Amino acid sequence: MAEAATDTTASKKKLVRDLQRVITDAEELLHATANETEGKVVEMRERIRENLMAAKHRLGDIEESIAIRAKEAARVTDEYVHEHPWQAIGTAAGVGLLIGLLIGRR
């Protein structure tokens, strides 16, 4: 279950980065066409501006959701480690051993 949450968080972080790139590109387009006064260009710029505002708002919501879930995951992990310290130590030692073996093969 923790792995699925990590995958979801990673997907959301990638989505946030992608949205930030799209927003930046759209803002550059708006600035580049600022002097255009033809009807369709003005209409398109206004639609883009409205969509940008909506995307920025949504991006803020997604970032907030990621932060809340990350804090919750950290809290749950902390509680688990405090409740089961020897299992956590054993797991960490096993993972460390596995990584050591994999690195040692190279």
Give the per-residue pLDDT at 83: 93
Dihedral sign (CA 59, 65, 68, 74): negative
Between the CA of residue 103 and those of 44, 56, 71, 106, what are the distances in Å? 55, 43, 31, 6
Residue by residue, DSSP assigns 19-34 as HHHHHHHHHHHHHHTT
User: What residue segments make up the domains of the chain, in order of their start?
Assistant: 2-105
Q: Please check whether the domain covering 2-105 is classified as CATH 3.30.70.
A: no
Give the per-residue pLDDT at 25: 79
Give the per-residue pLDDT at 58: 83
pLDDT tens-place string over residues 72-100 = 999 999 998 899 999 989 999 999 999 99
pLDDT tens-place string over residues 38-62 = 777 777 778 887 888 888 888 888 8
